[in-house]
A and B are shown apart, each in its own frame.
Chain A
Amino acid sequence: MSQVIAKSKKPAKGSVNKKKTLALLSMVAPGAIWLILLRYIPMFGITIAFKDYKIYTKAPSLVNNIIHSKWVGLKNFKFIFATTDSWQMIRNTIGYNALWIVLGLVISVVFAIMLNEINNKFVAKSYQTLMFFPYFLSWVVASYFLLAFLDPTRGLLTHIQQNLGMTPTNWYNNPKPWPVILTIANLWKGIGYSTILYLAAITGIDSSQYEAASIDGANKWQQIRYVTLPHLKTIIIILFIMNVGKIFNADFGLFYSVPMNSGPLYPATQVIDTYVYNALIATNNVGMSSAAGLLQNVVGFICIMFANTIVKKVDPDSSLF
């Protein structure tokens, strides 16, 4: 019987479905076309990573150059691993990233919840605006700000140390404090950005849920625990997964500008991106630069797929796809 009903309904439902799918496809279309043109077509360039890129002198064009360049296998990747610094830079890159993903997540969620609890709208708005300011400043400018404190001869901290009769620290020569300095710098710059994402997610929560919770006698902490956090869960997980995808990439500006590219600090500040930058200035090889980028992306991709699979098992709704 039910089969019969289902059958008789099918054509109508099918055409509705078709219409819906078409409507949704038309929504995706502009974005998809853009992605094909500006992202997928240029992907032929990935092959440069496996080539000894030369210009095809008879008819130079990017496509011709790539086609006529010799395949060299994985040779372009070698420079990342064939160095005594490999371990150091990979450790630094992954280590800082892991620490900052966790710290950044916790602090910005806490800040977003705190902002949400401020009753005075003016204060809440001002705080939120001010938090966003570091986002406007480039790392170069930030590095000058830091220099005003740490300058070996004219810095503020240097003067304070001198006045207290201490020997001034030569900050740009001593790698020890730099993990802390870099961490502070990174959080300072990034917190405002992610806080605003979490805040937007919180403000999107249907307020009747809080009303219901408070009628049930839930106090503030319980409301946060049982209403806010579960709602934030999806975006937390999504942002987390996407950050994991960048675990092999480092913020070049931060690691290059903030420590003023000072050599003696390298044990604490050298990351894959700065290493590649220095190596490419020396060799000027397009193949090597795309190899480095590709490697970072592949590692990131694997990490994301891995993280996503785990999330999918635990909580299918929050997974990326």
Chain B
Amino acid sequence: MSHTNNSVVSPRRTKKRRLNSVSIPTEIVIYIVLGLFCLACVLPFLFVIIISFTSEDSIRQIGFSFIPAEWSLEAYKYVIDLGDQLWRSYFNSFFVTLLGTFLSVLICILYSYALFRPDFKYRKFFTFFCFFTMMFGGGLAPTYMVCKNMLHLSDNYAAMIVPMLLNPFNIIIMRTFFQSSVPESLIEAAAIDGSGEYNTLFKIIIPIAKPGIATIALLNALAYWNEWFIPMLYVRDANHIPLQYLLMKMQNQVDFLVKNSSMIGAEAANIMSDLPKDSLRMALVVLIVVPIACAYPFFQRFIISGLTVGSVKG
């Protein structure tokens, strides 16, 4: 329905948007203000990239600088030397992120859609049921015990996916997205047409709520991709280790050795002097961020495209 509408509507809309846009000076101000902010956002990342290609000697001599005294690939070489493990971990990360995002978005949509429905009998109860866990939790040790000993989330992919399947914050946000973008009359109309609840949700509501869903999907994907703490708790098997944890392990090791060198003795100094410490830290950031940054436009398409696609009109 929306597709046929679109093709007819879009030429007109482009024209209309131009008519309806802000004045040229205002737009210039917008360009500048946002442009400056974006510069501030991207500059540190350029800095990270530069440091990751800086030789450790240069860092030791002149500190962190945008213009290093000497360039080097040392840090990347160090990581590439991980060999198969690196690619294996890349795969694990992709797998966990894809499957995890799909499942968590599905659960989130289902749960928050029910909460959005004003005619759901237990709406209040389940809203509070979810919200309460946002405020209170049992803490690390009990959660760890439940996951590991009760649910046997240990050394498998489920161990990385299940603990993050649901985020109460995202459910509340998603519910709010539904509230602000889905007219209630639409659901009533669908019910009168005899559409089942699932059918209404998947065929009618989800296409309308695309920007919101894409946003939640993006946040979940980022959460899965960036997670290293949960794998650290539950995964020891090298075959299952995701990238972020693999790299974090290297990072934590360096930090720990620097801090405790006097207690560990000569060996610590030995390991430390071999490591491209600071450039490695930055190279790890680059290796983590680049793949997910590349996936970003995929989600963004749905968020921004909402601008022109519009929605199904009743």
Contacts and interface: CB of A to CB of B under 8 A. Distances in A.
Decide whether A and B assemble into one complex.
Answer: yes
Interface of A: 17, 20-21, 23-25, 27-28, 30-32, 34-35, 37-46, 48, 61-63, 111, 114-119, 121, 123-138, 140-142, 144-145, 147-148, 151, 154-155, 188, 191-192, 196-197, 199-201, 203-208, 210-211, 214, 220, 223, 231-232, 234-235, 238-239, 242, 245, 286, 289-290, 293-294, 297, 300-301, 304, 317, 320-321
Nearest to B47: A145
B293 A205 contact: no
29 contacts: A20-B119, A20-B191, A27-B198, A30-B111, A37-B150, A38-B147, A38-B162, A38-B166, A41-B146, A42-B146, A117-B21, A118-B27, A127-B38, A131-B37, A136-B226, A145-B44, A145-B47, A148-B64, A151-B64, A197-B215, A203-B305, A203-B306, A206-B181, A206-B310, A206-B311, A214-B16, A238-B176, A239-B173, A317-B179
B209 interface: yes
Contact of A24 (B48, B117, B124): B117
A208 B313 contact: yes
Contact of B110 (A31, A124, A147, A200): A31
A31 B107 contact: yes
B143 interface: yes
B129 interface: yes
A206 B313 contact: yes
Interface stretch (B86-94, B234-242, B266-274, B295-303): B295-303
Contacts of A118: 27, 30-31, 34
Given A41-B142, A138-B285, 19 more contacts: A27-B114, A28-B110, A30-B111, A31-B107, A45-B138, A45-B142, A111-B37, A129-B296, A133-B41, A136-B289, A136-B292, A148-B66, A191-B37, A204-B211, A206-B313, A208-B310, A234-B180, A300-B135, A321-B131
Contact of B303 (A31, A127, A203, A300): A203
B22 A117 contact: yes
Interface in B253-306: 278, 281-282, 285, 288-289, 292-293, 296-297, 300, 303-306
Nearest to B288: A136
Contacts of A140: 281
Contact of B126 (A32, A121, A245): A32
A317 B66 CA distance: 51
